């Protein structure tokens, strides 16, 4: 089913209609951070911890950063070999490039598949600083932002917008030099965020994913966040926002497709050439496209 | 004018119509890379080099990674103080969050403003691994991907899709331990890319932006890439693709706005709730939206 999602197969509408009533119970956890912070190792450690709680786990390694090559590297799967023989774990690298609605439509659909298939937890792992990180945050109930010492200083982290995106911060490779410094910087930064009483206070958890150190604390933080989500009404709000994004992405993709079907490619080239020659402004060009599809 | 772009002001169409015939001559150079590799220092070094060639330079520091806070940190401007008194340099941090068409529409508009205003070179600096990096590559004639030692290994770099995005690789902080290693890894990776004769071969330039070491080589590589772009027809192809993206982003934004104007917010909520209750699939929900705007 995830292959159908990935390839944006024509059966997808029928498939989604069939499974939509069976989804809605999985806890969706996003894991993101810069390359090299140890996301895959952390994902593997979390899978182990959730399995110890006898929860069924689905893992989606989404790679939105490579629209050209399309698809995550083999490395992800290799690193997850620990769980290869466990029927309570499903692991999948997924490319979203072929999907009409991109990351915003493909990922919630894949999450829905795993949810409906009976996963109690769905872990969505994504490389990224920047837009893809923000999109992952929008897809998850709980977003863990991983950092590690030696990957750039505090100001840089703030610049990348992680403060707003993370529900929980993991400072991984906590046995490396400089980890204390990262924890301290994060503490100072999170302290500066204005909060109302009842707002979530982002915990900072030091971990060494490769040895399992701190993983219990992280699992505990995830569980506390889950409780807060349910009590505050935020869970419902986030899930609605996620479905809204999905619907909107599909609608825009449909309109784009409709335009393409109307010899849109040539028409766009003609319009682009007029703009390049200085004969037409881009807004008027866009207006012609809007008129064509509506 | 860039403030008008940033704020998606109603005058924008008129403005673009007035300047579109005056743009099209600037060389647009994108600089991207993970946080901490030294993008701002490199931008400053390149500004100095281009000024030595008596070329007028515009710098756009685009921060797509922070849609919540909206806007780049003051740090960028502080670091560019060297050029504050030079009337041949214009430096601007730009947020794209308020813009209807997002990064894809706002940035080319801002580039057009600087181009029409007489900049010979427009440097677009963007934080990012992932989607934003790819978008920046689409915006520039020449994209420089900066790396630095200690920021994650070769496989990670490949994962982030930088191989496809960079026209030129800069290995900055070349005086730090491990820089040779990064250069070697990049050489091995670029060697594996299949190329036709006549295709561009991505050069790898070791630099220390803070001292100016290697900057002449980088400027030389940019100039060679420029020649290749012109001779191969790639420049025309890239510029057309850029304008196409801009037009399409504006068209989709217009459609989205049109939907929002039709009490779309409530309607989307109602549709999302039906999907969450398992009563409706997301494709049928998207179909209702498409029907509403067209």
* Mean pLDDT within A186-193: 81
* Whether the Cβ atoms of residue A111 and residue A122 lie closer than 8 Å to each other: yes
Q: Which residues contact residue B59 at a Cβ distance below 8 angstroms, ignoring those fewer than 6 apart? A: B43, B47, B80, B89, B90, B91, B92, B122, B123, B125
* Whether the Cβ atoms of residue B72 and residue B37 lie closer than 8 Å to each other: no
pLDDT band at A99 (very low <50, low <70, confident <90, very high): low
Q: Is the pLDDT of residue A84 over 50?
A: yes
At residue A71, φ and ψ (nearest 5 deg) are: 125, 145
Instruction: Determine the residue of chain A that is closest to B25 in CA distance.
Output: A276
Q: Which residues contact residue B190 at a Cβ distance below 8 angstroms, ignoring those fewer than 6 apart? A: B163, B169, B201, B202, B204
* Per-residue confidence (pLDDT) for residue B79, from 0 to 100: 54
* Per-residue confidence (pLDDT) for residue B72, from 0 to 100: 43
Q: Is the pLDDT of residue A75 over 50?
A: no
pLDDT band at B103 (very low <50, low <70, confident <90, very high): low
Q: Is the pLDDT of residue A179 over 80?
A: yes
pLDDT mean across residues, chain B: 83
pLDDT band at A141 (very low <50, low <70, confident <90, very high): very high
* Per-residue confidence (pLDDT) for residue A131, from 0 to 100: 52
Q: How far is CA A280 from the centre of its chain?
A: 38
Nearest to B221 by CA among B33, B46, B26, B56: B46
* Per-residue confidence (pLDDT) for residue B155, from 0 to 100: 45
pLDDT mean across residues, chain A: 83
Domain range list for chain B? 2-232, 246-293
Partner-chain residue, chosen from B73, B129, B259, that has the shortest CB–CB distance to A65: B129
Interface confidence, given as ipTM, is 0.82
Between CA A163 and CA A186 the distance in angstroms is 9
**B16 min Cα distance to partner chain A (Å):** 6
Query: Which one has a higher pLDDT value, B142 or B2?
Result: B142
Could you report the per-residue pLDDT of B14-40, keeping only the tens digit for each?
Answer: 999 999 999 999 999 999 887 778 888
Q: Which residues contact residue A106 at a Cβ distance below 8 angstroms, ignoring those fewer than 6 apart? A: A5, A6, A8, A94, A96, A99
* Whether the Cβ atoms of residue B108 and residue B246 lie closer than 8 Å to each other: yes
Q: Which residues contact residue A70 at a Cβ distance below 8 angstroms, ignoring those fewer than 6 apart? A: A95, A97, A98
Query: Which one has a higher pLDDT value, A200 or A73?
Result: A200
Between CA B109 and CA A19 the distance in angstroms is 43
A193-197, A276-280, B30-34, B60-64, range with the lowest pLDDT: B60-64
* Mean pLDDT within A3-27: 91
Taking an 8 Å cut-off on Cβ atoms, the answer to whether B22 and A275 are in contact is no
Instruction: Determine the residue of chain B that is closest to A70 in CA distance.
Output: B161
Instruction: Determine the residue of chain A that is closest to B33 in CA distance.
Output: A129
Percent of chain A having pLDDT more than 90? Answer: 47
Q: Structure tokens of B174?
A: 């070349």
Burial class for A154, CB neighbours closer than 10 Å (0-12, 13-18, 19+): middle
* Whether the Cβ atoms of residue B93 and residue A173 lie closer than 8 Å to each other: no
Partner-chain residue, chosen from A160, A243, A285, that has the shortest CB–CB distance to B127: A160
* Whether the Cβ atoms of residue B207 and residue B218 lie closer than 8 Å to each other: yes
* Per-residue confidence (pLDDT) for residue B39, from 0 to 100: 87
Query: Which one has a higher pLDDT value, A264 or A267?
Result: A267
Could you report the per-residue pLDDT of B178-230, keeping only the tens digit for each?
Answer: 899 889 888 887 887 778 888 999 999 999 999 999 999 999 999 999 999 99
Counting every residue written for chain A, the total comes to: 294
Q: Is the pLDDT of residue A20 over 50?
A: yes
Instruction: Determine the residue of chain B that is closest to A254 in CA distance.
Output: B290
* Per-residue confidence (pLDDT) for residue A94, from 0 to 100: 78
Show residues of chain A in contact with B158, CB under 8 Å: 73
CB atoms within 10 A of CB A192: 9
Query: Which one has a higher pLDDT value, A214 or B149?
Result: A214
DSSP codes joined into one string, chain B: -HHHHHTT-TTHHHHHHHHGGG-S-SEEEEEEESTTS-HHHHHHHHHHHHHHTT--EEEEEE-TT-TTT-S--HHHHHHTGGGTT-TTEEEEEE--TT-TTHHHHHHHHHHHHHHHTT-SEEEEEEE-BSHHHHHHHHH-SEEEEEE-TTS--HHHHHHTTHHHH-SEEEE--TTSTTHHHHHHHHHHHHHHS---TTS----EEE-BTTTTBTHHHHHHHHHHHHHHHHHHTHHHHHHHHHHHHHHHHHHHHHHHHHHIIIIIHHHHHHHHHHHHTTSS-HHHHHHHHHHHH-
Q: Which residues contact residue B14 at a Cβ distance below 8 angstroms, ignoring those fewer than 6 apart? A: none
Taking an 8 Å cut-off on Cβ atoms, the answer to whether A161 and B280 are in contact is no
Query: Which one has a higher pLDDT value, A193 or B269?
Result: B269
Could you report the per-residue pLDDT of B2-13, keeping only the tens digit for each?
Answer: 888 888 888 999
A105-109, A155-159, B54-58, B252-256, range with the lowest pLDDT: A155-159
* Mean pLDDT within A3-9: 85
Query: Which one has a higher pLDDT value, A199 or B102?
Result: A199
Pairing of strands B121-127, B57-62: parallel
Topology, domain A2-232? Rossmann fold (3.40.50)
A188-197, B2-11, B272-281, range with the lowest pLDDT: A188-197
Q: Structure tokens of A294?
A: 């509506």
**A115 min Cα distance to partner chain B (Å):** 12
Between CA B38 and CA A130 the distance in angstroms is 17
Burial class for B137, CB neighbours closer than 10 Å (0-12, 13-18, 19+): buried
Percent of chain A having pLDDT more than 70? Answer: 82
Query: Which one has a higher pLDDT value, A178 or B115?
Result: B115
Show residues of chain A in contact with B262, CB under 8 Å: none
């Amino acid at each position: 089913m995830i292959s159908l999602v990935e390839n944006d197969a024509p059966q997808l509408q029928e498939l989604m209609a069939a499974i939509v009533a069976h989804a809605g119970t999985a806890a969706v956890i996003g894991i993101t951070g810069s390359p090299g912070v140890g996301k895959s190792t952390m994902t593997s450690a979390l899978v182990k911890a959730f399995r110890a709680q006898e929860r069924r786990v689905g893992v989606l390694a989404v790679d939105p950063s490579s629209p050209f090559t399309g698809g995550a590297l083999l490395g992800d799967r290799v690193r997850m070999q620990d769980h290869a023989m466990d029927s309570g774990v499903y692991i999948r690298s997924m490319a979203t490039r072929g999907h009409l609605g991109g990351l915003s439509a493909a990922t919630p659909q894949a999450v829905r598949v795993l949810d409906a298939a009976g996963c109690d937890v769905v872990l969505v792992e994504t490389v990224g600083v920047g837009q893809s990180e923000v999109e992952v945050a929008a897809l998850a109930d709980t977003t863990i932002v991983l950092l590690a010492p030696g990957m750039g200083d505090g100001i840089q982290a703030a610049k990348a917008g992680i403060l707003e995106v993370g529900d929980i911060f993991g400072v991984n490779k906590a046995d490396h030099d400089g980890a204390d410094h990262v924890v301290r910087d994060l503490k100072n930064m999170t302290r500066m965020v204005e909060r109302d009483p009842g707002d979530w206070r982002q915990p900072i958890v030091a971990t060494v994913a490769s040895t399992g150190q701190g993983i219990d604390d992280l699992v505990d933080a995830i569980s506390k966040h889950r409780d807060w989500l349910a009590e505050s009404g935020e869970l419902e709000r986030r899930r609605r926002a996620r479905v809204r994004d999905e619907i909107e992405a599909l609608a825009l993709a449909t309109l784009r497709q409709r335009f393409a079907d109307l010899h849109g490619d040539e028409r766009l080239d003609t319009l682009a050439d007029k703009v390049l020659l200085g004969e037409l402004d881009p807004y008027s060009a866009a207006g012609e496209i809007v008129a064509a599809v509506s």
